[in-house]
Each structure stands twice: as structure tokens, then as C-alpha cells.
Amino acid sequence: MEKRRKNGGTVTDQGSQASTGNNLDPWYFNYAERTSGLAASEVRALFAVASRPEVVSLAGGMPYVSALPQDILNGTLEKVMRERGPVALQYGSGQGHERLREQIMEVMALEGISGSPGDVVITTGSQHALELFSKLFIDPGDVVLSEGPSYVTAMVIFKSYQAQVEHVPMDEHGLIPEALSEHIARLKAAGKRIKFLYTIPTFHNPAGVTLSEERRPEILRIARENNILVLEDNPYGLLYFGKKGPDALRAQEEEGVVYLGTFSKTLAPGFRVGWALAPHAIREKLILANEAAVLSPSSFSQLVISEYLEQADWRGQIDTFRGVYRERKETMLSALAEYLPELSWTDPAGGFYVWLTLPEGLDSKAMLPRAVRELVAYTPGTAFYADGQGGRNMRLSFCYPTPEQIRVGIRRLSTVINGEQDLLDTFAGTGPLDHPSSRRDYSAPPPDIN
């Protein structure tokens, strides 16, 4: 007896296989169908190249951890091991340590969020919370609504659970309510099942824009009237450069919003501690999913962060980060204005990223190998869409390189872009080039945030 697999070939009930292709993986036909959605992140794929010291990396969203007070962190580590070592090295609760959950409520209060520590679930980074949430809610074929563009690894996770990602347009004020309503109506008319709206409303990754205060209640109203859960991802909300950003969506809506937070951007990603704040029923399932996945989040990391929040001036440290990133953003925008004045880009009020739009006919992904040869790296815009859009865009990260490196990187990038433009102009009258940008229609989404 044979059964045929979607990805080709046949597998017998004894597990033997007959493949029609040249397969280097002997277990290829044993994988679950959902693994077809797993793909290498274009951001992660860049790390090996971008980590070379001669390359200026404007690609990864790595926080500048060198700005942390090393003596305070060392003292915190030593104190935890000296006073609570047996607890720090032991298994813990699947929900996370109670004292840290209380402190997390203090952190979220800075963005208008109130609630109970009992509704917080600590995870191994907020990306782990995103994966657990997706596991709980997504069935194959379900629709996930998301801004276009959106966080690259969220797209990988949703696709790994065989979701259909529908991108909703943004402009300089964030997600467009009218476009959200139109997408929902169209999907419902087609008989699609929408599971949730995934959004990064504050200092968006990768676009750098922020959902305006006026639109926030409108987005929540649309979601509520259509019985759509909102998944609010907020890694950057406290990293504003001037005026504080709007309060979180979760501050306005408790039952319809699941909030994801992390210490990766306001402290350090190496601790791998994030959290979810969820309505009671969802919280219970998140705890069960957490226990099934990792048994318990790291007790050691939780106790170190808890001690840091107890003893250090963590609010002052976040303000230090704001100053560091504000200077680097201003340096990047100044360098773009000097070296690439004909292009357009966003001007973020916080966070890590600038979203750049290229001239018509250029393709950021096709251009990347030449950029690496010029010793500069960025992330192509296609990484932030589930459907191949974004060819005319790139994300530039200003968080990690020094201001001097940023200027060098933008100068090198201008050499690449201007060279590609010259090539395009030279052959403009000879017919289409054999180039990805000539083979598919890459618009400049989202057109209104340029």
C-alpha cells in the first residue's frame, strides 16, 4: 500500500520511499508537511557575512549591549549565585518566577498597561511566546493578518504552521483602518477563517513607523466587531527618542489583546527572557504549551533579571539606550541625505530601523551580493513579506554599528545603489535585462510610508 506525499514521490506503509528527484536527505519524506513552511531567515543568513570585522552591518537588529553597566551586571550575577544559587540552577515554574512577573507589571505600566502578575507567562524570549501562541491558534489554511511589511521571523513561524499570511497596507501613521476592514470583508466573503491580527504598532520592525493614537481605538474596534484577536508585539516601545510613544494597545483593550514583551532590547538578548500578558483562558493554555516545549524558562536568567530590576537604575539605563540609538539614527539619516539624497526613507521616532525605498527597477535582494563585496550588509525588503513583495525596499539597522561605521556603511551602500542605477540607465533602451526586477512586478509597498 502506498500513499502519495504533496512534495513528490511515494512512501509505502513500511516507510520505504521511491523518489522521483535527486534527494540528499534520506529522511526527506518522513518530515511533517508543515516543515515545508520552514525557511532560512534572510536576516540570519546574513549573520555569517555581516559578522566579519571588515563588513559594516546595517542588517541585524542587535542591541548595543556595550552600553550596559558591566560592573552592575557582574555584581548581579555574583549575588544571585551566592545567595540563590540552588534555586537559580534548578527547574522552575512553567509560568515563571512570581517576583519577576510582578516586576514585569511595573515595566508595562510605563506604557499604560495594568493587570495582574497572574496573567503573565514568562517565555524564552518573546519570539518563543510568538511561537507558542501560533501553535495554540493556527490550523493549516487559517489566515493571519499582518502589516505589510512585518517582522521576518513572525512570517517564518506563521508559515511553518501552514497559515496564509495576508498583509494589510501601512502608511506613515501605521496600519490603515480602512484597509484592514477591506481585507477582513474580502477574506470572510471568500470563506476564509481569520485567527488573529499580528501587529507591531510602536516603532515598527522593519518600517520604523508608529500607529497613531487616533487609529489605535479604531483598529481595536474593527478587530472586536469581527471577533478577531489582536497579538501585539512590542519589543521597542520604551526606546523612544523624544516624545514618549502612545500607550500600548493592551492598555485600551484587555480581553481582545495578547501582549508580547521582552528584555532583549531594553537589557540584553543573551538572557532570552520575554513574556506574554494574556486573558485568563489563553494564559492557562500558554502555560501548558510552555511546559510542553521547555518545561520551564531559565530560572537563572529570570533571577538575574529580577535582581537587576531590584537593584539597578533600569529606567535610567533605558534612557541611556535612547540616547545611544537617537544619535545613531540621526547619523544614519544625515548620511542618507548626503550620499543618497534622491531616495526616500522613514524617520522613526524610536526603535532600531529605517525603511529605505529604492528607485524603480532596482531590486534589493538581487543587489545584496554586490553590497557584500563592497563590505556593507543590509536586509532586503523581501524578507519582511510572506508573498515576495518588498523588492524595492531595504531595512537599515542603526542600533549596533557606531556612528562612524554608519557613515562608512551608507557611503559604501551609495556606491552600490548608484552603480546599479548607472547600469540600469545604460541598458534602459536595449530591452529588459535578465534580472529579477525585470521578471516580476515589484511595487514599492507600502507606498505611503516612503
Counting as low any pLDDT under 50, the low residues of the chain are: 1-21, 431-448, 450
- Cα dihedral 201, 206, 209, 213, rounded to 10, equals 0
How distant, in Å, are the alpha carbons of 225, 362, 433 from that of 429?
A: 53, 16, 10
Q: What was the pLDDT predicted at 49?
A: 64
**CA distance to 41, 160, 377, per residue, from 157 (Å):** 10, 5, 24
Please give the helix or strand (H or E) that residue 136 lies within, else none.
Answer: helix 126-137
Task: Name the residue type at position 224.
Answer: R
Angle of the 299-311 helix axis to the 98-109 helix axis, nearest 10: 50
Strand partners, 164: 143
Q: How far apart are CA 434 and CA 429, in angstroms?
A: 14
Domains of the chain: 2-31 (no CATH), 42-68+317-439 (3.90.1150.10), 71-311 (3.40.640.10)
Please say whether the beta carbons of 254 and 279 come within 8 A. Answer: yes
Pseudo-torsion of CA 43, 47, 51, 54, nearest 10°?
A: -60
Q: Which residues contact 260 (CB under 8 A, 6 or more apart)?
A: 126, 129, 130, 133, 231, 232, 233, 234, 274, 275, 276
Q: Using alpha carbons only, how large is the chain's radius of gyration in Å?
A: 23
Q: Which residue's C-alpha cell is 537599515?
A: 396
Strands (E), 331-426: 344-345, 353-357, 376-377, 379-380, 393-397
Task: Flag whether the pTM goes above 0.75.
Answer: yes
Q: Note the pLDDT of residue 435.
A: 46
* Cα distances (Å, whole numbers) of residue 6 to 11, 22, 157, 165: 11, 16, 20, 21
CA distance linking residue 300 with residue 264, whole number of Å: 16
Q: How many whole angstroms separate alpha carbon 250 and alpha carbon 106?
A: 14
The answer to whether 401 and 409 are in contact (CB under 8 A) is yes
Give the pLDDT confidence score for residue 231 in this predicted structure.
98
